[in-house]
Chain A
Amino acid sequence: MIVADKKPIEEIIEEIKDFKKILILGCNECVTVCEAGGKKEVGILASALRMYFLNEGKDVDIDERTLERQCDHEYLEEIRDIIDGYDAVVSLACGVGVQFTAEKYFEIPVLPGVNTCFLGATEKRGVWTERCQACGQCILAFTGGICPVSRCAKRILNGPCGGSSKGKCEINKELDCAWQLIVDRLKALNRLEDYEKLFSIKDWSHDRAGGPRKVEREDVQL
């Protein structure tokens, strides 16, 4: 899922300090799972902000709403009838949701309430780690199911580099060396001879380098 982290409240206050009617808009999916932007976090942020503005002597209305997702038109349409009552929206969705909301409600500032971090998994409650960088050309079949693009700090395709030490990456002793993991997995799968196959130069044009990407499926379009 998309993993995000709460923005410090001071940053959000700075973003909204000139507005008078604010809607805090949450999302029921990824940001709920990583406890950054779901209904509960919306409530906490709204309550804290109300108290802040009261203490500042400022008359600010703060409302709360959580949508199923902010990356689909039909859910965003649900606030069409109330949006004109606000002069700013703080979206606690990931960067996708913030932008999609802003595109749809063009005349109203839509501000981010979380920092979108990466595509990752829940290792355990409160700990999320990166697994995928959406390079557009998945090579997991050849690396024992472990991705060197997202899990190697140098995204080396013929690793490890000389800095791998006791299974950890040179940049951080807590970070697993992706290539150690790949070697371990190839061993477990009895395919260590695959290690010597040379990975050819990657086509990064399917990655961010190729520009903003699009997936089009004519078979499901009307």
Chain B
Amino acid sequence: MRLKYPTSIKIVRVPCTGKVDILHILRAFEKGADGVYAVGRMEGDCHYNSGNFRARKRVEQAAELLDKVGVGGERVRMYNLSSGEGPKFAEYAVEMYELIKQLGPNPIKKSKAKKEAA
């Protein structure tokens, strides 16, 4: 469709959002990502039955942990759409981008910079 979405979004393709683990989300933030979001099929539509439900639960748990360690759970989100919905995909991308811009950079980056400077 060649719709536009912000270039600062890096896409990692998985056969199903059920493959995304809490660990992947945390490591992304550890390495300096400002935000992480999972885009899965509409609930009830998963090709593997319940992969997107598992993803939702993991996103919620990751958010909880991120709140507790000072990164912020609002930076991780889950979106659902069906595979043909190109415009929705772009819309969510923009929405996420705006959200993260508002939240600012991942506090880890500042802390890492401080540590390097010391």
Contacts and interface: CB of A to CB of B under 8 A. Distances in A.
A adjacent to B, CB under 8 Å: yes
Interface of A: 9-10, 40, 43-44, 47-52, 54-57, 59
B47 interface: no
8 contacts: A9-B65, A43-B26, A47-B30, A50-B30, A52-B68, A55-B107, A57-B114, A59-B118
B71 A51 contact: yes
Contact of A51 (B21, B22, B30): B30
B99 to A, nearest CB: 20
Interface residues of B, number: 20
Contact of B112 (A43, A49, A52, A54): A54
B83 interface: no
Interface of B: 21-23, 26-27, 29-30, 65-66, 68-71, 107-108, 111-112, 114-115, 118
Nearest to B30: A47
B111 A54 contact: yes
A75 B39 CA distance: 41
Contacts of B30: 47, 50-51
Task: Give the secondary structure class of B's interface.
Answer: helix
B113 to A, nearest CB: 10
Contact of B23 (A10, A43, A57): A43
B68 A10 contact: yes
Contact of B108 (A10, A40, A49, A54): A54
Contact of B69 (A40, A43, A51, A59): A51
Q: Which 3 A-B pairs have the closest CB atoms?
A: A55-B70, A52-B69, A47-B26
B70 A56 contact: yes
The CB with the most chain A CB atoms within 10 A, among B27, B68, B69, B108, is that of B69
Nearest to B29: A51
Contacts of A52: 68-70
B65 A57 contact: no
